Amino acid sequence: MVAAEAMDSTVHEILNSRGKKREHLIPILQDVQKEYGYLSMENLIKISEHLELSPNEVYGVASFYQQFKFIKPGKHIISVCLGTACFVKGGNILAEAVRTKLGIEPGETTEDGLFSFERVACLGCCALSPVVQIDSEIYGQVKPSKLLQLINRMIKKEKSKEEPE
């Protein structure tokens, strides 16, 4: 975890690199999210103070755009495509498999912080439908059994990292 002082200096650097104009709000939000994976309330307040905007105004802009996240993401992000081609070929069944296996809804993170689950409108791989993205890896023509194998493999790998040698 990033120490509070390091976090403060990183946010401070981002704010100073962009300036204090209102039109810098979205680039600042993008930079902070890129650094931390999400926008914490603490950082939204720092941004509002820097730009001399109300915290509600900053949150209102950020919450308008789907790209911004307000919950710290899990170590691994599972994105299930529900675009037309993927939906027709079982994307909704894949989403249900993730929901059931991990016990979380889209937009949530498991309690252990290991997985976040997202439904996306399109991953741009329609010829490979149904498609799932886990972290930066795309998996095409996925069946529920294959998806569950991938998740189980990741869980096993993470547990082996926790065990003392």
3-state helix, strand, coil in the chain (%, to 5): 55, 10, 35
Q: Residue type at 156? A: K
For the cut 50, the answer to whether the pLDDT of residue 79 exceeds it is yes
Residue ranges, comma separated, of all CATH 3.40.30.10 domains in the chain are: 76-159
Q: What tokens were used for 160?
A: 């082996």
For the cut 70, the answer to whether the pLDDT of residue 98 exceeds it is yes
Q: What is the pLDDT of residue 165?
A: 59
Three-state SS for 117?
strand
Q: What tokens were used for 98?
A: 């993730």
> Could you give the CA distance from residue 86 to residue 92 in angstroms, rounded to a whole number?
8
The residues, ordered by sequence, that sit 6+ positions from 99 with a Cβ below 8 Å of its Cβ are 105, 106, 117
Q: Residue type at 59? A: Y
Q: Over the stretch 107-156, which tens digit does the pLDDT of each residue have?
A: 999 999 999 999 999 999 999 999 999 999 999 999 999 999 999 999 99
Residue ranges, comma separated, of all CATH 1.10.10 domains in the chain are: 4-64
For the cut 90, the answer to whether the pLDDT of residue 1 exceeds it is no
Q: Which of 3.30.2320, 1.20.272, 1.10.3470, 1.10.10 is the CATH number of 4-64? A: 1.10.10
Structurally, at CATH architecture level, domain 76-159 sits in 3-Layer(aba) Sandwich (3.40)
